Amino acid sequence: EVLNSGISPKVFSTPEDEEDSVFNYTETASGRVGIGALSDLLTEESVAIIGLGGTGSYILDLVAKTPVREILLFDSDEFLQHNAFRAPGAPTLEALRDAEKKVEYFKSIYSNMHKRISTSSTYIDEENLELLNG
């Protein structure tokens, strides 16, 4: 802005829906930091996150901001008050009272950014590993 007061790095409008994009709005961070080519390597990958507790929820927070083709969420637990202190963000009191499944709670948040999030409120064990195939 110092060199040209009419130029700004900020995006003010959202472009029309890009059908081939996994994002609901334009991702501008990769280009700004020069990792676009690296980020593009993720476009054909699917990521399964088993468990959305104190570790899995933060992994989701990071993965949802990448162009992976699909994110599969697995957790059979409900999102309760103690989870609020172990997860990114700050849930509303109403969300805690609703006690919905963790997979649905997190999908409702991260699908605002990433279009291709699938959920299963299933506990993964040796009997149902095929669910990880998508």
Q: What pTM does this model have?
A: 0.83
What is the rounded CA–CA span in Å between residue 74 and residue 27?
26
pLDDT at 16: 58
Over its length of 134 residues, how does the chain's per-residue pLDDT go in tens digits? 456 666 666 665 555 555 689 999 999 889 889 998 999 999 999 999 999 999 999 999 999 999 999 999 999 999 999 999 999 999 999 999 999 999 999 999 999 999 999 999 999 999 999 998 86
Helix (H) or strand (E) holding 106: helix 102-110
Closest to 67 measured CA to CA, from 94, 95, 85, 47: 47
Residue with tokens 């083709």: 69
pLDDT at 106: 98
pLDDT at 47: 97
Burial class (CB in 10 A: 0-12, 13-18, 19+), 104: middle
pLDDT at 132: 87
pLDDT at 76: 97
